[in-house]
Structure 1
């Protein structure tokens, strides 16, 4: 099918009264035709947020967006006014109250989560200026002053001196003496003059998600999953859709986390859908397609948790420039066996650099895989597609 035919096919599919999702997946899996302007709508569909029937969109979206607005009002306002809430509670409830059910204790727990979110979103995709720029559609409650900004709650928190700690998915974070979260932001400053920066919107979405999912809460790395989703929806050429990017991003992020949540829960690492199982499958596929490379990695003891842990958990969002990530995610989200193609992509990444690996020592190869070299992402996608077409190696 030619490019023009694929473009026409996409327009026909998206214009149908009831969109055929299976046909849409088949088309998008091989690359979204056009300039990417259809991507916000396509991702909403592929992540099972929008109903297939177009006539249901109006009522459905109105309800979802209203619900999200209620989440923001209910979950953020009481926390931002903890003092008032405490005054209204029993006299026994005070900042030093050890009772875990104390509103103050909940406030402090929320602030611990918010501190990590605040640090992470400030450095989200630093290679582009988008997240530091102002959104055209800030939260009215924030702009009016009816609700305090989330970053103001953690501005006074100091980080521990000179510590290097592993959090969440195992990424290393270095902190320094007496530095508040707002001063270690890499130049990322809040927009306090009648507006909001995009990273502040992302911070709010993640905090609402953490509050609504206390069993999982927020884990470092979720911000990297959120980044491409919010960017695509917030840059929609259709301003009516872009206006609701915050609410819609919350829901498609929730849908996506429902599929990859096991990657972020340590107790499920060894489950059939856990991260260790995914890495085992990856190495079996590498062995089934290039025994020489698999043998070398085993001999040099370059284990997948040193590099593929991040690849898989973050859906390759940190390995390539954003435009390449968006192209990769078109295929990942259209994958009928989600996320089987992700494993094929990781396998293709390893085999693509087999020449460098076979001639390198432990240190060189570790650096190569942990800092994947710039490539034409189409080469990786093409190689991974051949693996997918040949079928899954026994695992």
Structure 2
């Protein structure tokens, strides 16, 4: 490329040299962080305080590192590594037992059970009655998990480690078969005046937004694994059950575990995800329980806190949104409940979750991130009308995640002073 003068050439050389130094510094910084994590994880007993602080500032993107770190941060693996082998063996075996007990079809446990119970049994406490009710939950889970992170493509691919006892085509406990069949409610079974039993199938199979080509017998897609985890979780937590949106929270966790380059970790991604998700939900479940919405631990209190912080840090912006009657539940409800899983692309979300999972105050940092997200787009919000601002907050613009986190760190430090 010709240059007009020597100064132009010199400027270009300096620019490339500066860029090279920047890349070198980034590389050196990454290597230093990675070395720090490897040193922490090599300890027989991990120094949890140091580990937590390191994770809060971002886990290096070396394959496998984040998978281990999230298991520790979500209280699945203890800091003492000598306990890992026995603990993992026990929990993975426990998960297999959950599958056998929770997915089995009524009448398959033994002949005595089959003779005492049947699909037309009008008793609401019968196993078949519960089976039909479970199928209603399963259909909702199925609908949500089929469309999990559709742009990624990962969840539509076949897993290398299907749970063979469940996906075997000859088995009567396959979730795929249960979804493919129409639900027959026990309440719809009745006798007419002639004593003839009528069975009415009220619920039809759901229709989906995009096509789905089922895999061959003996195979299952990653989304089917997530579906099974959520079904087991709902069965084991009847007081809460499955709530729409849980699929968005469990998806990234399973993705990290199922893409671990260590085959031994990858093989048990399903069981490990189940326990990590269960532990996570035990901490954030209050936001999913509608009866707690108006309590001090419910979602309304969290939304109010974010807006109170906004008023404190940027009164003009708070007045603008308040004057437009742009209520917090229009956007903050989803941000807080789903841990921002709908607002950022997966790589950025994973980085945010490093800090959320490592938050010493356990997810209080999420509120700082939400407040920072609003302040960062202040100029657009001050200029926009109600409609424009609603669209902006419900479809958050593409912004460097480091800018968002840096602002959130600053707000948190100011709040703690």
Aligned Cα root-mean-square deviation (Å): 2.1
Look up the match of 2:15.
none
Return the offset for 1:271.
Answer: 2.3
* Counterpart check, 1:54 vs 2:81: yes
Return the offset for 1:72.
Answer: 0.5
Q: Distance in 2 between matches of 1:331 and 1:262?
A: 20
Pick aligned residue for 1:153 from 171, 174, 178: 178
Pick aligned residue for 2:155 from 114, 131, 147: 131
Look up the match of 1:217.
241
Relative distance call for 1:34 and 1:321 in structure 2 (3 A) is: closer
Q: Distance in 2 between matches of 1:148 and 1:91?
A: 19
Return the offset for 1:197.
Answer: 0.5
Deviations 1:136-193 (A, max 9, x none): 00001134333532132122448xxxxxxxxxxxxxxxxxxx9723x51522333233
Pick aligned residue for 2:252 from 208, 228, 241: 228
3-state SS in 2 of match to 1:82: coil
3-state SS in 1 of match to 2:103: helix
Look up the match of 1:334.
358
Q: Distance in 2 between matches of 1:300 and 1:129?
A: 40
Pairwise mapping of residues 91-130 of structure 1 onto structure 2 (< 5 A)?
93-130=117-154
Return the offset for 1:367.
Answer: 0.7
* Counterpart check, 1:265 vs 2:292: no
* Counterpart check, 1:188 vs 2:215: no
Q: Is this contact kept in 2: 1:141–1:147, CA < 8 A? A: no
Return the offset for 1:109.
Answer: 1.0
Look up the match of 1:66.
93
Return the offset for 1:222.
Answer: 0.5
Relative distance call for 1:338 and 1:208 in structure 2 (3 A) is: same
Q: Distance in 2 between matches of 1:3 and 1:90?
A: 61
Pairwise mapping of residues 292-307 of structure 1 onto structure 2 (< 5 A)?
292-307=316-331
What is the aligned residue count?
Answer: 371
TM-score (norm 2): 0.85
Q: Is this contact kept in 2: 1:122–1:185, CA < 8 A? A: no
Look up the match of 1:14.
41
Relative distance call for 1:91 and 1:146 in structure 2 (3 A) is: closer
Look up the match of 1:5.
32
Q: Distance in 2 between matches of 1:292 and 1:95?
A: 63
TM-score (norm 1): 0.89
Q: Which moved more, 1:263-272 or 1:337-346?
A: 263-272
* Counterpart check, 1:320 vs 2:344: yes
Q: Is this contact kept in 1: 2:167–2:174, CA < 8 A? A: no
Q: Which has the larger radius of gyration?
A: 2
Q: Distance in 2 between matches of 1:220 and 1:22?
A: 34
